[in-house]
A = this chain, B = another copy of it.
Amino acid sequence: MSCIVQKFGGTSVADIDCIKMAAKRVVAAYNSGNQMVVVVSAMAGVTNNLIELTEQVNGIFDVREYDVILSSGEQTNAGLMALAIQDLGIQARSWLGWQLPIKTDSKYGRARITEIDISQIKKRIENNEVAVVPGFQGLSKENRITTLGRGGSDLTAVAIAGALSADRCEIYTDVDGIYTCDPRIVSKAKKLEKVTYEEILELASQGARVLQARSVELAKNYGVRVEVKSAFTDTPGTQVVSEDEILEKEVVSGISYSSDEAKITLRRVKDQPGVAARIFGPLADASVNVDMIVQNVSEDGKTTDLTFTVTAKDLNHAKEVLSEKKSKIGFDELVSDSNLSKISIVGVGMRSNTGVAKTMFNTLAKKNINIKVISTSEIKISVLIDTEYTELALRALHSAYGLDQ
């Protein structure tokens, strides 16, 4: 007997028909002899509606009340899912975040899970009941509802799977897996049967938004086997596994992109300790998310140019913050550029292969695509290019790395 956690995202439980279809999937797995825990999101659109209501009342709102309001969407669906499963003749019961409880810290609106009491769930699933848990919600030390931030239902599912030592955690969504590239752009993109935690982390945070990044980290830490699947078909999905489960590692597993990038270069920044803190501290305080950071060695030993990227919508805010602090930071000039795309090739096999970067640069050069910034990690190479070349670059790279099949 296996223990399986199935998580259904907003589009998979968007209305009563979807909920019934999801319930059938749960019951099929149950009838195959598995212990079942179901994690549900709110119906697609419900959370956004609740946010809108909240903003209509009060622009700068109290996140404690925001959490009370937002968590109601998942609560409703947990009850409906339990009823839908019962309707198929199987005992089911909902367990809200405060009820288990799923304990979190007190960072309302983006709380982190600190501990899950799975005793109720364990008792019930051992007693042949299906346990239904609303995603996205927990309980703070102050005995108040917290929410876990966007995509938090993935986190709930993985955390429960980890706490239960479940055999796997199936994430049902409106795509049927992780692809080598966005199939809407690269028609030859193919679905990956397996992908490592590290790879999906890079792929997910770079535009292939299928699985929330924090939930992947958690899955990796607890060794939870995650599978991303379509809620609407019966095709196999993509398994997220640890590296040692993939024998023949692809040099490049996938290519991701994000097209709302902007870059800021500070010219002739003083090349001395503490300067980076003086730049990125105020940006963090202003909630500007900085992504790639590139600093070249100093030519004269005194000053250097420092380049980094932010999302296009944060660009003006970032410029304001830095201009205000210009004298304190100490730089000559701020140059910015928007309408940029970041293209990343990702693969755990990259570590043991030379020439991966060369292939990327050659491929882009052949298409006359200018690389503005390069940044690399152990399993990823990212470049910044003009947005208008995005599709061209993705298709050329997909082909160059042998991903077309």
Contact = CB atoms under 8 A, between A and B. Distances in A.
Contact of A57 (B19, B57, B64): B19
Provide the main secondary structure of the chain A interface: helix
B50 A65 contact: no
Contacts of A53: 16, 76, 80
Interface string A67-107: 11101110110111011101100000110101100000000
Q: How many chain copies? A: 2
A58 interface: yes
A57 B76 contact: no
Interface in A1-42: 16, 19-20
A144 interface: yes
A172 interface: no
A405 interface: no
A35 to B, nearest CB: 20
A307 B20 CA distance: 47
A150 B79 CA distance: 19
Contacts of A84: 57-58
A93 B79 contact: no
A62 B86 contact: yes
A143 interface: yes
A212 interface: no
B94 A65 contact: yes
B69 A76 contact: yes
B87 A65 contact: no
Contacts of A99: 98, 143-144
Interface of A: 16, 19-20, 50, 53-54, 56-58, 61-62, 64-69, 71-73, 75-76, 78-80, 82-84, 86-87, 93-94, 96, 98-99, 143-145
A101 to B, nearest CB: 10
B96 A83 contact: no
Contact of A65 (B62, B82, B143): B82
A22 to B, nearest CB: 11
Given A16-B53, A16-B56, A19-B57, 4 more contacts: A50-B76, A58-B84, A66-B79, A68-B96
B68 A94 contact: yes
Contacts of A64: 93
A69 B80 CA distance: 7
Contact of A78 (B16, B68, B73, B87): B68
Nearest to A43: B53
Contacts of A73: 72
Contacts of A61: 83, 86
A88 to B, nearest CB: 9
Nearest to A77: B69
B87 A58 contact: yes
Contacts of A66: 79, 83
A29 B143 CA distance: 29
